Structure 1
Amino acid sequence: MGNGSRDDIVERSETLPFSEQDLNEDIPSTRKMPRRRLRDLNIVQNTNSEEVSTEQQTVVGSLSVPDTLDEPVEFQTENGGTRRGRGRTLLTDLYNLNSADRVKVTRNSHGQPVGQEARLLAGYLGIIARNANMLPINYESWHNMPDSNKNQALSNIKERFALEVSDAYIKKALGKKWRDNKSILKKEYFKKPISLEEKLQNVPPGMLRYQWEDAVRFWNSKKGEDRERVGTSSRQKQKFTHTAGSRSFACVAQATEASSGQKVGRLQLFDITHRKKDGTPMTPDAAEIMEKLKDKKAEYEATALTDSSVNFEDTDNRIINEVLGPERYGRVRFQGSGVNPTQYFGFTSHQYMPSGSQSQAEVQRLKDQIVQIQASTDEQISQLRAEVAAREAEAAAREAEQNRKYNELQLQLQSMMTMFQQFQNPPS
């Protein structure tokens, strides 16, 4: 995929105009978000910022979009019917915000954004992540995205939000939104049963053609297919998904604590975020996990009746660890993005990390993955070498044919010269 310079990206994108409305198209969803108005949010004055330029405003949003946040639309289904869902996320009120005002986004004790402002921020991050000029899709990964692009996006976000969360959190969240956007584009436009040439021509609305062609060629390559297999394999290991919708775990926990006046533990948060509206578990796997967690908690409570040394402060963590196994490196279950084991568990984090044998298994899995990638790379290199050799052989054959024709022409010319001389000087 393209890894050109930022100047090249800007130069090429300026010659390929696209509509701001296309930039603001949101991913269709059957979950309808409630309407938000800025008067219900925390607005503060920004005393340090400069005025936002007109050029920067038009990159991500338009001041003339319809006066609605989530416009309901109808989508065509595969069987020919229609379904209603959420249309574009426009955030009109946010674009109409005075240039000196900002939406203040607060954080919890773990550094995660919370409150209604957090959901507004998440929606805006999605719009930024779909901005083809600011965050091009023709990079193989978020790590390959130039820092200049990420910093430009961060600056744009800070023109509208007063953030208590860290820049690192925002960039990480942007990266996920960017990957999600690529995944949706791939599924809806690349995975169609059409030829490669048709896929190259099937440019999504709001996408720059050269970026789309770069992305399609990568997805169609051996390396792209290998990466997809690894991602699919990892995804299949996920047994259940949450039902929190656009709300983060941090927002769910804060809202529950505000209404109940009690702190929400991880067990309770898992139960809240993995049930449908009718109260039933999201999936049979989720139901099984809930039952195991419930039984294990009952065991701890029964033990506490006869053993006064049981520490209830750490019960949830121990139960989750026993039922679901140790935490993955850098992650804490049911806490969402931005929380790591050391931060959450403190000095006792080693209790919830994989054991030696599990660590070795994880290392072996990574080694196997590296071997797979290396084998794919070697195969591609061999293929390229074979193609180069074939081209060189073809060029050598053409050169030999040209030399043969040249020699034939030289012989013909010499023969004609001999005949001409004989004609000029006939024998006496």
Structure 2
Amino acid sequence: MTGPATRQQTAVPWSRVKMSASASPEAAPKIVPARRKFAIHGRAKDWLLHQLDGKWRQYKSNLKKKYYKANLPMERVLQTVPQTVNESQWPTLVSYWYSEDSKEHDGVEVDRATFFDECHKTKDGRYVNDATQDKMNEVYMKLAEKRVDGQELSEADFEQAMLEVFGKDHNGRVRGMGPTITPTDYYGGRFSNM
């Protein structure tokens, strides 16, 4: 149910989408009735917003995978407007894909330990809780044991350390990567022997 809601055509700027009626006059007719229809509070509301956020990110990622090709000129990509995207927004989205800001983040792969570490810290660099800090200290101790004579650690070393500390991934999930990343998305054939 949350997937189709995130893919409906609504003229809301791609760069900053806020789930409010003031975000766009075109979006208001869809958002306001939904608020009247559903009275969701507390943890259920947090869960729903988390799911919508994940589906929205997944949708944008799928759009980029399908339509953006770095070797194609931008003008050619602009000619193919998907049915799920508002025509007036397509040029803005494609321009963003070809911008230097977008290219800077494109293709930067981060190991799972670094990703988990960065996502579980506050703005001032402290861990969100003591349990997380203890787990990450354990991961870094295992990595220090693997580092011999100052040589570089491989991606498999980081994966192995995370698995040893946090345990095996549950079916259909990748531990430490959030609810929307599946094993196929993350591993994609890598580490098939683990």
TM-score (norm 2): 0.49
Say which structure, 1 or 2, has more relative contact order (CA 8 Å, 6+ apart): 2
- Larger radius of gyration, structure 1 or 2? 1
Higher relative strand content: 1
TM-score (norm 1): 0.25
